[in-house]
Structure 1
């Protein structure tokens, strides 16, 4: 209770206390102002970074790094935008994004709240880019396909082109050059209003044709890209495409064209730091032609600018060429010197990668430290976290109980399905046995009819034998009643209907374009009658029956020689 009691103080005591009170108040004011300013400025930094991400990713990266506590100073939607923008600018600045797995949370969030279709497409696209760097190509393709869907709904051609181009790259990495080519073509259609990107799409198409040894098409698209670069007046783009053409012509040993484009690229290069690339390309070209003097000139120029190169990767490539060149000239000391320098550059590359990893760890540590301080300063939030943690634990226990219960139900359902499957298998075996038995009975009945036909045929062949004729007539009368041999068809059809109820009617319903003769041939063929036997029943020549059976197969949709009986069983059973 003491903390809320009032007491009187003297003037001297008040004057003594006034200075620390003012000092303490000033500290509180500055801290409060800094916190408020941070809360206000952070969304502005994010907005500016998002605006610059596409055109100036290096500047956007600095803005993103300036946001020290994104989760504490941004609302939920802004934080998810921050995650997407962070991966976007890191990717465009050629940073390693394999560990940026929080982008998957952003993708889930925007997929569920997909009012902003473009942001959803970006979140899914860069999720695919993370999976791609992780060499998980199938999930990467799934994310790219989802991004393609949302970019289409957003009607954003630039974003659609970006997705299509990267799907093409993913397919090209798998060696699927023609499929990649289709994607690059689609990207080019979307990039009609963005000439730089259109030129790069044509360049990619040229590479695919070059891989497939379609040189004419390859150079056609390389030249189209260069024409666009010239039309746009971009010397940087022209220089890059001219170098690509020079390298391509060199690969197919068209050295004169290669030389022309390498020289054009060198003339277009305004940045002196880029000239060593031209020197290296020309030195390699002349060493292949071979023109030793020219190669030597550009090799010397390359050596002069070697120390000014800032790109360690290119410097390593240049040292590798110079080591081989000096060795070929018999200058072993210089060759060893360049090889030694190459090894040092490679070591520097590895060290830079290590420093970058250390920087990433430091960034992560600083972020976690600031976040911890932020939560420690807010005891109310801590209490809520404890309450929420208890709810989560209780929810987890309930979920586990529910999951076990559902699992048991699934096991029971699976057992029931297994039992039903076994019963169905037994039933199918039973039905199959019955069908086979029925077919045997059908063939047995028709076999009798066929033998009668053969007897009748024998009588017609020997009409003078009156005794046999009388016996056969009596047999026909017993089997068929008062019918004559010309009416055997009706008896045979009735036998078929008794053995296969409904089949004759279904054949007529399913194949209405069959003539009466074709229908009869179909029935008798099903009953395993030969061509000669059918000819006897229908009183036509075997050649005519064979021709009609060919026509019948076409109407039934069978190829030449197809089994009519098997086809009818498959259709009508």
Structure 2
């Protein structure tokens, strides 16, 4: 009992040791329920997955879709999100409406990142058609706005970009689309550009989005400075911007832009005033910007030259040199981090291999213990069964010996019982057991009986000790020519062993007794009985002796 408990405890321990943490499929399904509400949690859950490549195909595509969605939501590079292509095909054909329109945006973003802009525009057109078929004007407008952005930043085709933004505005009026359209028209010197940019500011303020309104005003003013060349309008817009915000990161750019306007108008004092004011706002932010540093240095040099006829860019050049040195140091640090990350990845790979190897060893040890335990149990059970069988044989032999040792009553004719007893006595004499246990049975005699009863059945059997050629005449004399009639009636239909079994059954030997005398197992005796019944055409449970005697 204690051994079984030990084996059970070892199995539980090994199973616990081999158990993994949270299953990748469980993590994926949890992440799949959060993509509409909590992208950060989705990213964390996806990072916890160890072997997503082993997921079933459908779940692997779902994993790729979620990874692409997280990168798109975070405005990260999507060049590695190649799974979005088969995932797009899967979700567009499976009828998953919740992901269908978003899948168009993700595929377009991936194609944009890979530089396949013609295919990107085709996907956006398909998404717009699909959205309109569902009467989803909001999503259709988003697809058109994405097309406009592609035309602006990739093709520099402001005419087609303006057309895309106009179509988007017909579906839904937004401040962002008005602003983008205004910028496109401004780059084309169109008079309606100012109206659209002003409209974007009005809509942003109506929505209470001051941050966007300030951004629109700043970009519109810069367009007036560098494209439309209307410095007074730019100054007016910048003054309006100053009234809407007190954020240093906005005011520094606004003041520097106003300084540039006054410089180009020849009003050097005002230019210096706003330049100093912009520099103060810039230093208040607490961080360095290469663009801001160069713009401030450049404008100061131009003002100095305009006012004094000379300028000094030494400090600006030193700053640029320091930026170059800092970039070189940063690149060196990044390369070192990459090497460290590669080393850590390799070490982690070795750890994974070692863990898998340890898991295999543990599983092998568990299998070995199970085999040892099973073999031990089998051998113990087999030995116990053989001991029980040996004891039963000893009891059977003792009973047979007791029966044949009882003195027969004097009579001129032998009864049937006496015939059986005589036949049994002859069999035991042939086996030599009468001689072995003659007189009082001693411990030695009992041991000899045990040795006989445990003889291996297949090879050294007790059946070989019986001389059936001598026993057949005795059977015929005692049982009315039983064997002779059996042979005459059925000829060679029955084998020798089957004939011998019939003779023993006629002598009223039990199955257990026949097993002991012939050295055959009990199942073998039953199998021979079944074979005899089939050969003789008997019922499965018919009595063989009665059938043969009839």
TM-score (normalised: structure 1): 0.51
Instruction: Give the counterpart of 1:90 among 71, 77, 99.
Output: 71
When residues 318 and 27 of structure 1 are mapped into structure 2, their CA distance, relative to the original with a 3 A threshold, is: farther
Deviations 1:345-369 (A, max 9, x none): 7658867987998899899989999
The corresponding residue for 1:218 is 193
The corresponding residue for 1:171 is 151
Question: What RMSD in Å do the two structures reach over aligned CA positions?
Answer: 4.3
| Distance in 1 (alpha carbons) for counterparts of 2:170 and 2:125 | 18
When residues 361 and 218 of structure 1 are mapped into structure 2, their CA distance, relative to the original with a 3 A threshold, is: farther
The corresponding residue for 1:257 is 233
Mapped pair 1:47 → 2:11: no
Mapped pair 1:161 → 2:141: yes
Mapped pair 1:239 → 2:214: yes
Please identify which structure carries the higher helix content.
1
| Distance in 1 (alpha carbons) for counterparts of 2:108 and 2:293 | 36
Deviations 1:399-427 (A, max 9, x none): xxxxxxxxxxxxxxxxxxxxxxxxxxxxx
Displacement of 1:233: 1.3
Looking at CA atoms only, which structure, 1 or 2, has the larger radius of gyration? Answer: 2
Q: Matched residue pairs, number?
A: 351
The corresponding residue for 1:429 is none
Displacement of 1:371: 9.6
| Distance in 1 (alpha carbons) for counterparts of 2:340 and 2:330 | 15
| Distance in 1 (alpha carbons) for counterparts of 2:80 and 2:195 | 40
Deviations 1:18-45 (A, max 9, x none): 9x958x8578559758325x65444223
CA contact (8 A) 1:69 1:367 kept: no
CA contact (8 A) 1:72 1:371 kept: no
Aligned partner of residue 51 in structure 1, secondary structure: coil
Pairwise mapping of residues 450-465 of structure 1 onto structure 2 (< 5 A)? none
The corresponding residue for 2:547 is none
| Distance in 2 (alpha carbons) for counterparts of 1:147 and 1:376 | 49
The corresponding residue for 1:150 is 130
The corresponding residue for 1:101 is 82
Instruction: Give the counterpart of 1:205 among 149, 172, 181.
Output: 181
| Distance in 1 (alpha carbons) for counterparts of 2:123 and 2:352 | 31
| Distance in 1 (alpha carbons) for counterparts of 2:246 and 2:107 | 37
Displacement of 1:255: 1.8
Deviations 1:83-113 (A, max 9, x none): 2332233234332222322211212222332
When residues 206 and 375 of structure 1 are mapped into structure 2, their CA distance, relative to the original with a 3 A threshold, is: farther
| Distance in 1 (alpha carbons) for counterparts of 2:267 and 2:14 | 76
The corresponding residue for 2:445 is none
Displacement of 1:210: 1.2
> Unaligned regions of 5+ residues in structure 2, if any?
305-310, 361-550
Mapped pair 1:34 → 2:21: yes
| Distance in 1 (alpha carbons) for counterparts of 2:319 and 2:129 | 51
| Distance in 1 (alpha carbons) for counterparts of 2:242 and 2:18 | 57
Displacement of 1:202: 0.6
The corresponding residue for 2:295 is 321
The corresponding residue for 1:453 is none
| Distance in 2 (alpha carbons) for counterparts of 1:190 and 1:365 | 53
218-227 vs 289-298, which deviates more? 289-298
The corresponding residue for 2:121 is 141
CA contact (8 A) 2:28 2:46 kept: no
Pairwise mapping of residues 558-573 of structure 1 onto structure 2 (< 5 A)? none
| Distance in 2 (alpha carbons) for counterparts of 1:210 and 1:87 | 35
When residues 75 and 32 of structure 1 are mapped into structure 2, their CA distance, relative to the original with a 3 A threshold, is: same
| Distance in 2 (alpha carbons) for counterparts of 1:151 and 1:368 | 45
Deviations 1:45-95 (A, max 9, x none): 343233345xxxxx3674465443473697654543442332233234332
The structure showing larger relative contact order (alpha-carbon pairs under 8 Å, at least 6 residues apart) is 2
When residues 34 and 67 of structure 1 are mapped into structure 2, their CA distance, relative to the original with a 3 A threshold, is: closer
Mapped pair 1:295 → 2:271: yes
Displacement of 1:343: 3.6
Displacement of 1:166: 1.2
| Distance in 2 (alpha carbons) for counterparts of 1:368 and 1:208 | 52
| Distance in 2 (alpha carbons) for counterparts of 1:348 and 1:147 | 45
When residues 206 and 334 of structure 1 are mapped into structure 2, their CA distance, relative to the original with a 3 A threshold, is: same
Pairwise mapping of residues 126-525 of structure 1 onto structure 2 (< 5 A)? 126-172=106-152, 173-192=154-173, 198-214=174-190, 216-251=191-226, 252-304=228-280, 306=282, 315-328=289-302, 329=304, 330-343=311-324
> Unaligned regions of 5+ residues in structure 1, if any?
1-6, 54-58, 193-197, 380-573
Deviations 1:155-174 (A, max 9, x none): 33332222111111222332
| Distance in 2 (alpha carbons) for counterparts of 1:189 and 1:356 | 50
Aligned partner of residue 214 in structure 2, secondary structure: helix
| Distance in 2 (alpha carbons) for counterparts of 1:190 and 1:377 | 62
Displacement of 1:187: 1.8
Displacement of 1:138: 1.7
Deviations 1:223-261 (A, max 9, x none): 110110111111111111111221122232322221222
The corresponding residue for 2:476 is none
CA contact (8 A) 1:69 1:370 kept: no
Aligned partner of residue 100 in structure 1, secondary structure: coil
| Distance in 1 (alpha carbons) for counterparts of 2:78 and 2:28 | 23
Aligned partner of residue 34 in structure 1, secondary structure: coil
